[in-house]
Amino acid sequence: RRMGWAVCGLGHFAQNYAVPAIDRAAESKLTGLISGNRDKALGVASAWGVPEGSVYDYGMQGLADNDAVDIVYVITPNAIHEENVIAALEAGKHVFCEKPFAHNSAAAQRMMDAAKAADRKIMIAYRAHFEPNNVALKEMVQKGELGDIWYATSDHHRPLDPSVERDQWRMVRGLAGGGSLMDIGIYSLNGLIWLLDEMPERLVATTFSPQTEDGRFGEIEAIGQVQLIFPSRRRASISSGYVADKKRIDLWGSKAVAVLDPATAYSGNKLTLSTAEGEETPMPSKPSEQQFVGEIDHFSKAVRDGMEILTPAEMGLRDMRLLEAIYVSAERGEWIEVNPDGTMR
C-alpha cells in the first residue's frame, strides 16, 4: 500500500516542491496537512484532494487517530522542527524532517530520543543523495574513475532576500540557528563527506558578515569558509554565502576533475569531467527533479518494508555537531579536531 504523508508547514518549499512531489510519488500519497493558518491549509487541501478532516493545526490534536497518515514531513523554520517532530512522533507517526535537522545538536538529540521512545523512524531530507547526477558522480568515485582524490571543493551560495517571507526567519539566529553555513553550507559539507565516503578529522573555519543598510547580516554570517583535513590526509575546502548565486562541487582527481555545476539545484544539475589532456566531457544529464520523489518514496519503503534509510537521523545529528564545531573554530580562530560522530575531540 502507498504510505500516507502529512505535510507540516505550508511555506515556499512545501507548496512548490514537497506537496507536488508526494503527489507524483508511486509509493506515497498526500493524506494530511498541518499548518498554523487554517484558511491557507484548506486552500491547499482542496487543490490536492486532502479531506478537510485531515487538516490539523500545529498541536496535531486528533492526528493519532488518523490511520491514513503514516508519515509527517516537517518543513518549518529550523528551530521549529523540534516541536513538530516530537508532536508527530507522539501521535505515533514516522517523521521526514527537512535539513538542517535542527538549529543545534541538542535539539537533534532530543528528537532522536523521542523517536526511540516512540519506536518510530526519522529520515533527513538530504535530497542530493537521490539526485541522479550526484548519484552518477558518487558511482564514478566508487569505481575509481577519477583516480586519487586528494583535494575537493564545494561552494554553496544564494542571495538572501529580506523582502521575501521565507528569508525573514533565516535572518534571525534563534530561528535559523546560523546563517549561510547552516542553510546551504550544509550541502557542501554533507555532499563531500558522502561523495568521498570519509569524515573529516580536523577543521578550521572563518565567517564574515558584511554590514548592509538593511542589517540583513546583523545576527548571522553571510559568508562561511571551512578547511577540512581527512584521516586519509586529503584536503577539502568548502564555502557558503548569502550574496552570490552558485552551487557547485569539484572533485580534483588524478585521472579527471569532476565538476557538478549546478550541484544541488532543484533542476538542471550538470556533471562535467575534465582530464589532464584538457578534454572536457559533459556527462549525459539526468532529470534532477527525480530527487524529490526519490527521497520521498525511499522513506515510504523504509517505513513499510523496513529498508535501511540512506540519510538517517544519525547523519543529521553528525552534521549539526560538525556545524557547531565549525562555528566554534570560527569564533576561536583555531583548528578543531572532530570524532567520526562529529563531536569535538
Q: Which residues are part of the catalytic machinery?
A: 99, 187
Stretch of 5-13, 136-144, 190-198, 299-307 lying at the interface with ligand NAD (CB under 6 A): 5-13
**H or E stretch covering 208:** strand 202-208
**26, 15 in Cβ contact below 8 A?**
no
| Residue 10 interacts with ligand NAD (CB under 6 A): yes or no | yes
Site string for ligand NAD, 189-228 (x = CB under 6 A): ----------------------------------------
What is the 3-state secondary structure of 123-192?
EECCHHHHCHHHHHHHHHHHCCCCCCEEEEEEEEECCCCCCCHHHHHHHCHHHHCCCHHHHHHHHHHHHH
Provide the minimum distance between the beta carbon of 59 and ligand NAD in the complex, in angstroms, as a whole number: 12
Helix (H, G, I), strand (E, B) or coil at 315: helix
Count Cα atoms within 13 angstroms, Cβ side, for 33. 27
Spatial CA neighbour of 63 closest among 27, 102, 35:
35
How far is 205 from 184, CA to CA, in rounded Å? 16
Stretch of 26-34, 163-171, 212-220, 236-244 lying at the interface with ligand NAD (CB under 6 A): 163-171
Site string for ligand NAD, 30-69 (x = CB under 6 A): ------x---------------------------------
| Residue 166 interacts with ligand NAD (CB under 6 A): yes or no | yes
Name the residue type at position 184. I
How far is 150 from 230, CA to CA, in rounded Å? 10
| Residue 131 interacts with ligand NAD (CB under 6 A): yes or no | no
As separate numbers, helices (DSSP H) first and strands (DSSP E) second, the chain gives 12, 15
Provide the minimum distance between the beta carbon of 188 and ligand NAD in the complex, in angstroms, as a whole number: 14
Of 73-102, binders to ligand NAD (CB under 6 A) are 75-78, 80, 98-99
Provide the minimum distance between the beta carbon of 11 and ligand NAD in the complex, in angstroms, as a whole number: 2
Q: Quick one: which of 48, 150, 151, 169 contacts ligand NAD (CB under 6 A)? A: 169
Closest to ligand NAD by CB, 217 vs 230, is: 217
**100, 94 in Cβ contact below 8 A?**
no
Closest to ligand NAD by CB, 12 vs 116, is: 12
Stretch of 8-16, 44-52, 129-137, 327-335 lying at the interface with ligand NAD (CB under 6 A): 8-16
How far is 238 from 171, CA to CA, in rounded Å? 22
Closest to ligand NAD by CB, 14 vs 257, is: 14
Cell 541538542 sits on residue: 106
Stretch of 4-12, 101-109, 146-154, 249-257 lying at the interface with ligand NAD (CB under 6 A): 4-12
Name the residue type at position 87. A
| Residue 313 interacts with ligand NAD (CB under 6 A): yes or no | no
Q: Quick one: which of 65, 67, 165, 245 contacts ligand NAD (CB under 6 A)? A: 165
Provide the minimum distance between the beta carbon of 207 and ligand NAD in the complex, in angstroms, as a whole number: 18
Whole-angstrom CA distances from 265 to 144, 163, 270, 285 are 26, 22, 9, 13
DSSP 63: G
| Residue 332 interacts with ligand NAD (CB under 6 A): yes or no | no
Binding site for ligand NAD (CB under 6 A): 9-14, 36, 75-78, 80, 98-99, 125, 127, 165-166, 169, 183
